[in-house]
Structure 1
């Protein structure tokens, strides 16, 4: 992303995080004349030990000098998670991942190894999807095709998790809480967005998504960041009915930045038996 876009993303992120923290949670008396439930800028500045003017300029996305030590204080004041801290530092200091420039902008779909393909097959009763750093789907198993959609029927040029969440009715119908489901993937996508700050593909992609899908823009503005969310998700499958899965998201080591999203049937539920029926039908 270019410098101005990066600073704007930083501004949106800081405002969203400040709005999430109540004065009580920060140990500040709520007072009586408060327009919003979140913290004021001067309160964040006080908690971080910086001047109100400096923090205001930072949140406004001005091009000012920042240091790691001061950002640490801001992150603590805003009670950021590890992933959120990484995102803050990436935007404020314009740091990128330790991937070399040559591989950072390498185009084309990564190929999964024979060993990884075998793992997909072995996870027979755990729907599993492998995606790259831009959320392009590069691999899946049979269980994933039965629970989600048959990815073989999706044009490879449209096989990106983020647009599919907003365009395919199968996904909207599947998740009982679709917004929670979609927000988890957007949190992962945002972690990539902050990690690969030099890659302008993300800005082009985000502009396109915001233009085409109003729901996307609203969920994106929530500024959630997570490199590996672990959540329990309830599905209402058109054939199997209620299904409960625990999502485990793993980053795979190697030259390609791949992610393995595994949906494990919740123990004690009837999900696995229902999945077996779907696969054997």
Structure 2
């Protein structure tokens, strides 16, 4: 599972593992066990968020993993509703305290709008205020790298043109069937690393016949194909699971998808998320 040893280099020189563990929908009282299992398997990149409600469990898993803190890359996200400097500053410290960690490796603004107005109103001023709090925490050593999530080019420009530190990361929805190539290219042109969340489309893509046919060619599962696809796009891949067996198989992606198949996957349009459409990021806005 050599992918667990591979990293990208952020624009500030920090190394981030290419494959991480997503923890969305893992309950707080189960998160420590899941994180410890992932770290024992070899994962070194763990992703959570204030909105997930499991920062305490994730932090416990990190602290009790038996692996030195400096060998792990831990990310969290500032709640999307926080568009105010003072609230952001307080929430940053609260995350560190909840996790029981002296520092966080990466902290993101979870979305450019609050979830109940996702892709809605203009929150440019609030994002600049939250970003200023992240910059100060970064300069103070509380956060090693800072970034954003679900930001479109205009949202990124608002930060890039009004900040002293450019975002190191933009974490966005990327999977076979939903490849925002223009946004990925824009981020790359600005030196912003893209992280792909839900690389298996929240599980809704597992029954896709075209993906199954391509996966069969490589003698891999559909999830393995999907994870490999996002890696070959040059993104960090963040499949989420609390199942240790799935963690292992998700990391068994040491194969190469051909250019022809990459093009087929890139052009695939599959965004039927079933019941998950209730979540703003899958709603098609």
TM-score by length of 1: 0.29
TM-score by length of 2: 0.29
Which structure features the higher share of helix residues?
Answer: 1
Higher alpha-carbon Rg: 1
